[in-house]
Amino acid sequence: MKCDKCGKQVWSIFINTKYEKLCDVCFNKEKIGETMKFEKYITETGEMGKHDIEKGGDWYDARLELEKVAKKAKLKGEVRPFDQYQGPYFTGGGVKIWLSENPGIYYLVTPSEAFEFDAEEIAAYFKKRMAKKPKVKVKK
Ligand SMILES: [Zn+2]
């Protein structure tokens, strides 16, 4: 997600009383200047439950979409609820896949890197990773 103030791409955001999404830096700057009460950290305000990603739930379509993306990349795992702002995410194969605010674009997060990919690029990334052969030491 992007910070509404500085445009920085961030993984967790804060919501102020004007319902702007802010990065930690911008949020803290505002907080210092104002005495208003701020909303809590997003993961505590917009809770999402398992029912949200089940049939009939608000995020069911998003779940199907993430499952499709993961399947295309031959990843095994599951879609889990997160919160109402960032939506559910896929977890499996040591990575996480999140929805972005752009339709058809996802965040692929590995333990060391994060990418902004479409479904094709995610599949290509794992295809390439699988093709990497382990280094073999040859005895002389
Ligand atoms: Zn910011």
Tens digit of each residue's pLDDT (9 = 90 or more) over 66-88 = 999 999 999 999 999 988 778 89
Per-residue pLDDT, 38: 43
pLDDT at 32: 57
Question: Which pTM was predicted?
Answer: 0.63
How far away, in angstroms, is 129 Cα from ligand 1 center?
A: 34
pLDDT at 86: 81
Cite the beta strand spans of the chain per DSSP E.
Answer: 14-15, 21-22, 78-83, 87-92, 95-99, 105-109, 114-118
Residues with CB under 5 Å of ion ligand 1 are 3, 5-6, 8, 23, 26
Q: Determine the distance separating the centroid of ligand 1 and the alpha carbon of 41, expressed in angstroms.
A: 15
Residue 91 alpha carbon to ligand 1 centre in Å: 27
How far is 2 from 101, CA to CA, in rounded Å? 9
Given this model, what pLDDT does residue 44 score?
A: 42
95-121 per-position pLDDT tens digit: 999 998 888 999 998 888 888 899 999
45 Cα: distance to centroid of ligand 1 (angstroms): 20
Distance 40 CA to ligand 1 centre (A): 17
CA-based nearest residue to 18, from 5, 2, 7: 5
Ligand 1 centre from 15 Cα, in Å? 11
Q: Residue ranges of the domains in the chain?
A: 14-45, 50-131
pLDDT class for 39, splitting at 50, 70, 90? very low
What 3-state DSSP class applies to 64?
helix
pLDDT > 80? residue 94: yes
